[in-house]
């Protein structure tokens, strides 16, 4: 084993520990933990036994193991970008709906504008929420 392999395997081990601890704390869902752990394990196998990627690549009809790693990385990135985009759009939609709801709830009627001390500029927030 060369220096690069040793350092990379240590990195993957550290990332696996961080991933498991995030799953135990509950900051990351279990299936996300499993996904990342499988990625760290597959990366560790590819680093520890580089010829294994060539065997799998030839089985799939790909010329070199390095090409298999590259194609797999690109596919994973495309899926991750799509997931991130759809999640961002969902959060954006939820935020829009929330802002609309708050605007409607806190809208001033003409009588509120005429009454002194009424509306959002009122110093008593409790009086506003009861209205």
Q: List, for residues 68-117, the tens digit of each pLDDT value.
A: 999 999 999 999 999 999 999 999 999 999 999 999 998 887 777 776 66
What was the pLDDT predicted at 116? 63
- Assess whether pLDDT exceeds 90 at residue 128: no
Report helix angle 65-105 to 51-60, nearest 10.
Answer: 80
CA distances from 78 to 61, 75, 92, 119, 131 (A): 22, 5, 21, 48, 49
Residue 123's contacts (CB-CB under 8 Å, 6 or more residues apart) are 117
What was the pLDDT predicted at 119? 52
Cβ–Cβ < 8 Å for 20, 37: yes
Taking the domains of the chain in order of start, what are their residue ranges?
Answer: 1-49, 65-106
Nearest to 45 by CA among 16, 76, 80, 75: 16
Each residue's pLDDT tens digit, 18-69: 999 999 999 999 999 999 999 999 999 999 999 999 999 999 999 999 999 9
């Amino acid at each position: 084993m060369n220096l690069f392999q040793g350092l990379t395997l240590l990195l993957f081990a550290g990332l696996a520990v961080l991933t498991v601890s995030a799953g135990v704390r509950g900051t990351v869902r279990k299936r996300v933990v499993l996904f990342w752990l499988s990625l760290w394990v597959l990366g560790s196998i590819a680093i520890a036994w580089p010829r294994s990627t060539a065997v799998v690549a030839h089985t799939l009809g790909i010329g070199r193991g390095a090409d298999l790693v590259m194609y797999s990385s690109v596919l994973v990135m495309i899926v991750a970008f799509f997931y991130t985009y759809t999640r961002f759009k969902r959060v954006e939609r939820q935020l829009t709906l929330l802002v609309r709801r708050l605007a409607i709830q806190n809208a001033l009627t003409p009588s509120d504008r005429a009454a002194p001390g009424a509306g959002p500029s009122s110093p008593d927030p409790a009086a506003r929420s009861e209205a």
